[in-house]
Amino acid sequence: MTATARETVLRRVRDALTLSSHPPEVEIPRAYRTGRTLPDEERLALFVDRLLDYKGRVHRCTADGTAAVLAEVLHGHRARRVGVPAGLDPAWLAAFDGEVVTDSPDIPAPRLDALDGVVTASAVSCAETGTVFLDGAAADQGRRALTLVPDLHVCVVDLSSVEAGVPEALARLRPTSPLTLISGPSATSDIELERVEGVHGPRTLEVVIRTDV
Amino acid sequence: MSSPTGPSTRNTFLGMPAVPPRSPYGTGHLRGERAFPEAAQDELGNEQLRRNLGRATHSIRAKRLALTGELPDWEQLRDAGSAIKTDTMNRLPELLEQLEQKVTEHGGTVHWARDGVEANEIVARLVKNTGSDEVIKVKSMATQETGLNEHLASEGITAHETDLAELIVQLADDRPSHILVPAIHRNRDEIREIFLKEIPGIDPGLDTVPAHLAAAARAYLREKFMTTRVAVSGANFGIAETGTLSVVESEGNGRMCLTLPETLITVMGIEKVLPRFQDLEVFLQLLPRSSTGERMNPYTSMWTGVTPGDGPQDFHLVLLDNGRTAALADRIGREALHCIRCSACLNVCPVYERTGGHAYGSTYPGPIGAVLTPQLAGMHGAGDDPNSSLPYASSLCGACFDACPVKIDIPSLLVELRHQHTEESGSTAEGLAMKAAAAVMKRPKLFTAAQKAAGLGRVLAGRDGTLSRLPAPFDGWSDSRDTPAPPKQSFRSWLASPEGAATMRAAAAEGAPHTDDAPEAP
Ligand code: SF4
């Protein structure tokens, strides 16, 4: 009987372990920092510092002020047609006077290209690395193409969802959702190591942090 | 004695472990055409290459040091990373089966490939099944290793690389020279020339400003992203516990390929599996800081099988062996499989800095390439297999070990590989080491500079810390006794020390011809 590739590879792996005499089980030393908590102001300061360092742009507001700030940010980019995930709180764009396009899986990617920008919520963030995590399965964050194709991404982050470090942030995610981790806008250093912002992903990342949520 | 290889392998009888085969000879990109010293000679003549590389490696290195220094628990993260990898290798069969089960549960299809040829055939078949004759590709070491693009071309399928550097390399019909920044050997003028010549309909007035060059690539690739129905990617991590795959990148081309097409085919080496989702908390801290010297790379994508309404609705994972099980059977190779391809060891290596990646002849250049390549594809014959020269393509200064986020002791592994090779070939390790070192380190000043840490003592000493043989002219003396290896000291500085001087005197007294010439100029 001819073995399948699966059987062969698995047998080879087992043989290899037998031949190299099955090393003993190892304990994983997890002495690195986990479970960190930082007071609000410190987390906020760290997160803002790291976002700016990677060329993100930052705004602060209260929950009540969300609509005004979003309208102002979109206005600043002269954005007229803005995409949103189906589950985004409609109140957020109440002050925006342009066209709001609600995303759906039926809209082909080239049509997303015609949007001036996109507004989404976020799942969780990491202050130490300046990273925003999007959960594609959540109704207010939308499918992955929506935050990828348009050139401007405006992302609303609640301070209560900002964790100090990577372990704390990852622990709050649903692993099997489509996840996107974003640290600043798209960038390349492939030409003589000179950093250029904006290659294929959004050229501009605007993060609106709601400090009382 | 031949070991069973390739797709025709039959299960004869169970229970008798056979040494798993290496990657088949003559396929893919795990073997150059010339031995390292010879290839290095040519590259050394390329001043442009050396300038670019010097600037690049020093700059990434400085950023990496600053950012790893920022984390007070960097060493604890390295310890955890190293242990997770050991644990992974120990439990590889069950982890692979678990990964397969989880990916399948979430609507993906898992394929197994004994070698690169088989992986290429699987991918080509899957692409053909979609009816498409082109694919977009995310930068992937595994498919570079198997020579997938060439195979697809022979089947009438066009593969478009979408990473900017890979695109430059592909358009120029060139080969990558660095794991992380494959086009680092090209400068902006050359890149402009390549674009003007190869990108249809490009603005002839394009200048050499990197932002403008990047914009030209963006415009060219955007159309491909929007219209191509099939994508091929690699994977940085595959999580057994959940079936989650992950790609770490900067430009967003990865996100485009992983999200927009209807079909996604991911080719992943079997060693890239991680046991738990939690393990990402370690590697997502180690990888970006070691690799690009960033706290986090701009984009990381994670997906588990198929998500209705979001991303490709047809997902295939190809699990690739291609010599990895042969490496796993060997103590050296097993440790080399821990590599997460961050390229930190390349950026600190004085030999790599001078020769660039092409001299290694393999998809995996630099210090880790010198260990991994012979492990995956073997070292055949005495002198004429280029892979046999790779363990000597190092000054063993120890910088790569210090830089490696998962603590792979590359210098010791190189020393052991040299022992393995010389036992087979009958040549002396010293002779081959000297030849390789001399090719790269022509000027004694440079050579001395390269020998910062452990130095030549390690070239010659085994892991037990003794020198069983000294190089000529001391070999007559050392044939009959062991000399303690000089740890953490260069051979030159050891020779200059009182202990070294005494050894030289003893050697001279026993009749070895005395010479003032240092051993690096044979
Ligand atoms: S061997 Fe270590 S330093 Fe070199 S590329 Fe692999 S993980 Fe990075």
Which of B289, B306, B327 terminates a domain? The answer is B327
Q: What is the per-residue pLDDT for B17? A: 82
Token couple for B4: 């069973």
Q: Is the domain covering A36-210 a CATH 3.40.50.10420 domain?
A: yes
**Crossing angle between the packed helical segments B74-90 and B92-105, to the nearest 10 degrees:** 90
A94, B11, B361 from B33: Cα distances, Å: 65, 35, 7
- What is the position in ligand 1's atom list of the atom closest to the CA of B291? 8
Interface of B with A in 95-134 (CB under 8 A): 96-97, 106, 111-114, 118
The whole-angstrom distance between A161's CA and the closest CA on chain B is 17
Residue B225 lies in a domain: yes
Nearest-CA distance from A79 to chain B in Å?
21
**B-proximal residues of A, 7-46, CB under 8 Å:** 7-20, 22-23, 25-34
Phi, psi (degrees; rounded to nearest 5) at B105: -55, -35
Contact A17 B92 (CB under 8 A): yes
* B334 → closest Cβ in A1, A9, A20: A20
Query: Low-confidence residues of chain A, pLDDT below 50?
Result: none
Q: What is the torsion angle, in degrees rounded to the nearest 10, for the CA atoms of residue B475, residue B481, residue B486 and residue B487?
A: 120
Label residues A106-120 b or e (16+ Cβ within 10 Å = b): ebebeebeebbbbbb
Residue type, B73: D
Domain stops at, among B327, B347, B366:
B327
Residue B382: the pLDDT is 54
Claim to verify: residue B323 and residue B455 sit in the same structural domain: no
Whole-number Å distance between alpha carbons of B321 and B273: 12
pLDDT of B450: 44
Check A143 against B255: CB less than 8 A apart. no
Say how far apart CA B162 and CA B483 lie, in whole Å: 54
Closest by Cα among A83, A174, A164, A154 to A131? A164
Which residue among B327, B345, B376 closes a domain?
Answer: B327
- Domain ranges, residue B450: 446-499
Residue B477 lies in a domain: yes
Task: Check if A193 contacts B (Cβ < 8 Å).
Answer: yes
Q: Measured between beta carbons, which residues in chain A are less than 8 angstroms from residue B329?
A: 15-16, 19-20
Indicate whether this complex's ipTM tops 0.90.
yes
Ligand 1 neighbour B117 (Cβ under 6 A): no
Residues of B with Cβ-Cβ distance to A105 under 8 angstroms: 309-310
Count of structural domains, chain B = 2
Structure tokens at B75: 């060493």
Q: Does residue B413 sit within a domain?
A: no
Q: For position B31, what pLDDT does the model report?
A: 86
> Distance (Å) from the C-alpha of residue A104 to the closest C-alpha of chain B?
8
C-beta of B139 in contact with ligand 1 (< 6 A): no
Q: Would you state the pLDDT for residue B66?
A: 87
Single-letter amino acid code for the residue at B504: M
CB of B195 within 8 Å of a chain A CB? The answer is: no
B441 lines ligand 1 (CB under 6 A): no
The set of residues, in sequence order, having a beta carbon less than 8 Å from that of B463 and lying 6+ positions away, is B412, B415, B416
pLDDT of B424 reads: 66
Q: Are A148 and A186 in contact (CB under 8 A)?
A: no
- DSSP-derived pairing of the beta strands A179-182 and A131-135: antiparallel
Contact B251 A187 (CB under 8 A): yes
Domain boundaries, chain A: 36-210
The nearest CA of chain B is from the CA of A208 a distance in Å of 18
Task: Please identify, by atom number, the ligand 1 atom nearest to the C-alpha of residue B410.
Answer: 1
Per-residue pLDDT of chain B (522 residues; tens, 9 = 90+): 344 444 444 444 556 788 899 898 888 898 888 888 888 887 777 777 788 888 888 888 888 888 888 999 999 999 999 999 999 999 999 999 999 999 999 999 999 999 999 999 999 999 999 999 999 999 899 999 999 999 999 999 999 999 888 899 899 988 877 877 888 888 899 999 999 999 988 999 999 999 899 989 998 999 999 999 999 999 999 999 999 999 999 999 999 999 999 999 999 999 999 999 999 999 999 999 999 889 999 999 999 999 999 999 999 999 999 999 999 998 888 999 999 999 999 989 988 888 888 888 888 889 999 999 989 988 876 557 888 888 888 888 889 999 999 999 999 999 888 888 777 666 666 666 666 666 555 544 444 444 443 344 444 444 444 444 434 333 333 333 333 343 444 444 444 555 545 554 554 444 333 333 333 322
